[in-house]
Amino acid sequence: MAGKRLSADTFSLAKSSSSLTKGETLKDTALTLQAMAPDAIVIRHWCSGAARFMADRLDCSIINAGDGRHAHPTQALLDGFTLHQEWGELAGKTVLILGDITHSRVARSNVILLNKLGAKVRLCAPRTLLPRTAAKWSAKVYHDLDEAVKGVDAIMCLRLQLERQKQGLLPDLREYASTYGLSARHLEKAGKDVKVMHPGPMNRGVEIASDLADADCSLVLDQVANGVSMRMALLFQYMTRKGGEQ
C-alpha cells in the first residue's frame, strides 16, 4: 500500500509461490530478483540476518520488514513516531514492553529505538518467554506485571505466539491471560494518561483485554495508520537518494 500510494509499481513474492519452496537458495533468489532491476526490495524472512544477507549482495535498497527474531525496524520506527505524536519528546518517558519477548523482533528493535530517543524501557514476561540475554539489554526486567506497570507512560503488548504453547513454554492460555494479560486494573497503577499499544495481530482476551484494545487510551489504530506513512517515507528516502548517500 505504501508503494502504491507513492505511484510505484509493486510486485509481491510469497514464499509459497517462490522458487525457495523448490530448493533454491536465498542467494540465487536474490540474484534473480536483482536481474529484474528493482529500485527496492522489502523483505520479511524467517531467518535472522536475511535482510543483511540481501543487502550485502544486491545493488538496490533493501528494507527489513522483519527477519526471524532479530529485528523489525520499520515497526519500531512507526511505534516511536506514534508516541512522538502523543508526547512530542520521548526523553524521560517510561515504556513497558509486555509479553513474549523471547520470540519478538518487535521488542528487540523497540528497545534500541526507545533508548536512542531517551525513554526508559521496562520488560515484563514469564521467565520462559524472556531471553537469557535480557539482563544485558538497556531495559529493566520484571516478572510481576503489577510491579512493572507502576508509573509507566505507555504499555506495549506483544502478540503471544500461540504455537509456542505447544513447546511447553506456558502451562495454558488461561493462566497466562490472568497473570500477564493487560487489563483496566493494571492501568490504575500506571502513570496518568498512560497509552496502550500493540503491533498486531491481537489475541483479545489473552495478551490484552478486549475493552482495553478499544479504549480511548489505545493507540493501536494510530500505529496502523502511521505504519503506512512511515513506510512511504522510507521508500521515498531509499528510492530517490543519489548513489552512495546514506
**Strands in 75-206 per DSSP E:** 94-98, 120-124, 140-142, 154-157, 195-197
2-71 and 73-223 share one fold: yes
Q: Which residues of 137-169 are buried (b: 16+ CB within 10 A; e: fewer)?
A: bebebbeebeebbeebbbbbbbbbbeeeeeeeb
What confidence tens digit (pLDDT) does each residue in 79-130 have?
999 999 999 999 999 999 999 999 999 999 999 999 999 999 999 999 989 9
- Asked whether the predicted pLDDT for residue 245 surpasses 80, the reply is no
Q: For residue 214, what is its C-alpha cell?
A: 478499544
Q: Please state which architecture CATH assigns to domain 2-71.
A: 3-Layer(aba) Sandwich (3.40)
Residue that the C-alpha cell 515497526 belongs to: 75
Could you tell me if 155 and 190 are in contact, meaning their C-beta atoms sit under 8 angstroms apart? Answer: yes
Q: Tell me, what's the pLDDT at 170?
A: 73
Q: How far apart are CA 65 and CA 183, in angstroms?
A: 30
What confidence tens digit (pLDDT) does each residue in 184-233 have?
999 999 989 999 999 989 999 999 999 999 999 999 999 999 999 999 99
State which amino acid sits at residue 221: L
CATH code for residues 73-223: 3.40.50.1370
Handedness of CA 214, 216, 217, 222 (dihedral sign): positive
Whole-model pTM? 0.90
Q: For residue 181, what is its C-alpha cell?
A: 494479560
What confidence tens digit (pLDDT) does each residue in 25-59 have?
888 988 888 899 999 999 999 899 999 999 999 99
Q: 62 phi and psi, to 5 degrees?
A: -120, 125
Q: How far apart are CA 220 and CA 63, in angstroms?
A: 23
Q: Where are the domains of the chain?
A: 2-71, 73-223
Q: Tell me, what's the pLDDT at 244?
A: 46
